[in-house]
Amino acid sequence: MKFMKITASAALLLGTSAPTAQAEDLVVYQTWSSPAEVAALKVLNEAVSAEGINWIDITIPHNTGSSVSLLNLVVGGQPPNIFSENNTGVFRDLTEMGLGRDLTEAFTETGAIDHFSDAVLKAITVDGEIRQMPLGVHIDGMVYYNMEVAAAAGVDPTSWTSLDDMMADFDAVTAAGYVPLAVGAQQWQIGYLTHALMGTLAGPELYAGVYGEVPDPAAFDSAEVRSVFEWLRKFQQAADDGSVNRDWNMTTNNVISGQALMQIHGDWMKGEWRAAGKEPGVDFGCIPIPGYKAVVVTVDGWGALGGQPEATDAAMMRFAQIVTDPTVNADFANVKGATPVRNDVPTDGIDNCAQRVLELLEDSSRQVNNPSVTVDSDWQNAIWEVAFNFWSDPDMSVDDAIASLHSQHDIILN
């Protein structure tokens, strides 16, 4: 386990009042720590605390091996009850250990299951069972831009119909004194940018060739995959010197503060904009990557550990129902910067960026799932490593990157 801290309760982490002595304790293992994420956690904590559930928090920094730490906690005899996890393989591992927990009944009882979109249901279902409680929908590759910077540079991102259109405006942005594209050059962020570009440029079929359950090495040699690496190199060359190892939310702040025009990242960026008092359509704009063939959908999902005492299990099922309540879900999504997972939430909290995501989700033929839902975790990590090495080494060619993909595939999947 790496960098793990355990707080006495969510009251310490989130500043909520202490629960009553009669509260049912649930240990919640999660990986959120940015200001918007902590504010969103507070929404959930207040909702479950109001119904007598005592949230005991375990948190580690985002993308530092959370699935390994989770399994270490389980094997070490200190398992959480509720845990943040999207990787299908982890849920299968827990099932093999006799610790899987199907949540279908909990959502059927409240009627929530009838209000989850196809994209949400696909993401939270593992081997025919609903294994995750969905919290928010995100698009992994959205362009969030500072409207004041765009006006000062004389560019209109809404006019872009392709990545070439976008790149054609970079000189004007630079000439106006701004960084065209803010990037956080950490391995996971470059990995996310890679699969977002893969969906954009390659479309669903070739995306599945790289990120499908059974990857097809022939797809690696396609012109579309080559184009993904070519665009990674163009973006790397356009990034500012401070991008190296910069956290995603600090990168978002570069755009919020007017140092850079835009960021291409998951649309959880919106939570940082909202936390800074900025409004969509007034201070910032949001568009999918121009010319997209498919958007990559992430559903924030939390699981529940099976094999628990009856009272604990009942509390976990009630927890799942509370956090997917339409009002709670709408409030959570508004603070987190997500789009609600339900189609029956109160509409007064749906901003125009969330509305744009809902429109994108209407076309199932142009959607693909985040790789954590579809691929072996070792293979996903290998792609991250190849992409990050390519980004970090300007002398590494596209041919070198593709050869590395083949080599990693042979080692991991053959």
Q: What is the pLDDT of residues 230-243, one digit of tens each?
A: 999 999 999 999 99
Summarize pLDDT for 88-123 with one digit per residue, the tens: 889 999 999 999 999 999 999 999 999 998 889 989
Q: Which pLDDT belongs to residue 61?
A: 66
Task: Tell me: pLDDT of 359 over 80.
Answer: yes
Read off the pLDDT of each residue in 263-277 and give the average, rounded to a whole number: 94
Please identify which residue in the block is written with the tokens 């936390």: 275
The pLDDT tens digits for 122-157 are 899 999 999 999 999 999 999 999 999 999 999 999
Q: Inform me whether the pLDDT recorded for 14 exceeds 80.
A: no
Dist. CA 40–CA 25, nearest whole Å? 20
Question: CA-CA distance, 195 to 231, in Å (whole number)?
Answer: 12
pLDDT at position 72? 87
pLDDT for 68 = 63
Is 277 found in the same domain as 212? yes
Same domain, 190 and 312: no
* CA–CA dist 409, 211 (Å, integer): 11
What the block records as the tokens of 134 is 């969905």
For residue 182, the surrounding DSSP H or E stretch is strand 179-182
Same domain, yes or no: 378 and 348: no
Q: How far apart (Å, rounded) are the C-alpha atoms in residues 238 and 178?
A: 11
Least confident of 138-152, 269-283, 338-352: 338-352
The proportion of the chain whose per-residue pLDDT surpasses 70, expressed as a percent, equals: 93
Residue 2 pLDDT greater than 70, yes or no: no
What is the distance between the alpha carbons of residues 4 and 24, in angstroms, rounded to a whole number? 24
pLDDT tens digits along 68-79: 678 888 988 889
Among 344, 364, 384, the domain-final residue is 364
Of the pLDDT bands very low, low, confident and very high (cuts 50, 70, 90), residue 350 is confident
Do 353 and 329 share a structural domain?
Answer: yes
What is the residue-wise DSSP string for 60-86?
--TTSSHHHHHHHHHHTT---SEEE--
C-beta separation of 180 from 173 below 8 A: yes
* Structure confidence at residue 362 (pLDDT): 86
4-18, 349-363, 365-379, 400-414: the lowest-pLDDT one: 4-18
pLDDT score for 9: 34
Please check whether residues 131 and 183 belong to one and the same domain. no
Residue 33 has a pLDDT of 87
CB of 341 within 8 A of CB of 116? yes
Model pTM score: 0.85
At position 256, the amino acid (one-letter code) is I
How many domains, in total, are found in the chain? 2
Residue with tokens 């007017």: 258
Nearest to 279 by CA among 342, 334, 357: 334
CA–CA dist 29, 32 (Å, integer):
10
Output the average pLDDT for the chain: 91
Per-residue model confidence (pLDDT) at position 116: 93
Query: What's the domain range around 269?
Result: 142-296+366-413
Query: Does residue 24 sit in the same domain as residue 170?
Result: no
Same-domain status, 174 and 163 = yes
The 3-state secondary structure of 145-158 reads EEHHHHHHHCCCHH
**Are both 372 and 396 inside the same structural domain?**
yes
**What CATH number is associated with residue 265?**
3.40.190.10
Strand 142-146 with 260-265, pairing? antiparallel
Q: How confident is the model at residue 64 (pLDDT cuts 50, 70, 90)?
A: low
- Residue 164 CA to residue 142 CA, distance in Å, equals 16
Q: Token pair for residue 53?
A: 């559930």
Residues 49 and 197 in one domain: no
Are both 45 and 192 inside the same structural domain? no
Q: Tell me: do 398 and 334 sit in the same domain.
A: no
Residue 398, pLDDT > 50, answer yes
Are residues 41 and 95 located together in one domain of the fold?
Answer: yes
